[in-house]
A = this chain, B = another copy of it.
Amino acid sequence: MTLTATAVVDRYPTRIDGDPELIDRTDPSVWDFTGAGPIDRATMAGHHTKGFSVHHDLLSPAEVAACRDELARLATDPGLAEDERAVLTDDGEVRMIYEVHAVSELVAELVRDPRVLDRARQILGSDVYIHQSRIDYLPGFRGKGTYWHSPFETWHAEDGMPAPRAVSVSIPLSGQQELTGELMAMPGSHRTFVPTTLGSGGVPDKEHLRSLGAAYGIERFTDAAGSVLVFDANTMQGSADNITPFPQTNIHVVFSSVENLLFAPFAGGQPRPPYLANRDCEALRR
């Protein structure tokens, strides 16, 4: 099913020509508190309050090792390096691979694993489709972090996602020695939509970040491999550069509700390619 017409009211206007004002989110972050699933009530309440939740030891050490092997294999696949879905560094190293659930059998299974899929379904209160999937290979020493942003702001503006009824599932694969402390988020920030200015590329205003930071504070994630982070789409997040000597790898999957289909980009322009914003919104099944 492909929809590109703008058929909904824009409740989160962004890329504004002028001074954008913060918008209180009207959508819930947990869509069905009564829904059955693997997440217990306390974890769900925490997710509702903070906009993210850590699911400890979801993968076994053997599964983490298998993922790491698969990522190492993909990074050195000569065919993939020439694929448009691969992002290379200036040195020709693979930095990211998009649509990885279509590229790797292992990842295709992982995104359908009930431990992962049912968590996304439970939070979003519906069937889900994959909006985007990718592998991040963050090099050591000078691995570039990502500045503060709300992923939903980009998906709304550039992909036409109407509501933040989506979650990012981040599966860090760094081992014990590798410090996974680069990722930061502002707990509670998902309740506020931060519109950006026209031409900003989705980078929030400093005053808005100061005000959100003062209101919500910042949490840093330091969990070992095997734990899985689930973020609300509108959580304000960023990551520092990775100056550790260790590369960090990560599988990243965005699940969106099947009741949250993509329309035309709300900020205008052409939609991004399907490997960045999947428009095949069929419900993901085991």
- A residues apposed to B, CB below 8 Å: 140-141, 145, 147-148, 176-177, 179, 181-182, 184, 206, 209-210, 212-214, 217-218, 220, 222, 238-246
Which chain B residue has the least Cβ–Cβ distance from A147?
Answer: B243
Contacts of A179 in B (CB 8 A): 184, 217-218, 220
Contacts of A213 in B (CB 8 A): 177, 244-246
Contacts of A238 in B (CB 8 A): 243
Contacts of A210 in B (CB 8 A): 140, 245
Complex Cα–Cα for A140 and B214 (A):
13
Interface of A is mostly: loop
Contacts of A145 in B (CB 8 A): 240-241, 243
Min CB–CB distance A247 → chain B (angstroms): 10
Flag if A206 contacts B141 (CB, 8 Å): yes
Complex Cα–Cα for A107 and B277 (A):
55
Q: Kindly identify which residue among B214, B218, B245 contacts A206, using a CB–CB cutoff of 8 Å.
A: B245
Contacts of A220 in B (CB 8 A): 179, 181, 222
Flag if A241 contacts B241 (CB, 8 Å): yes
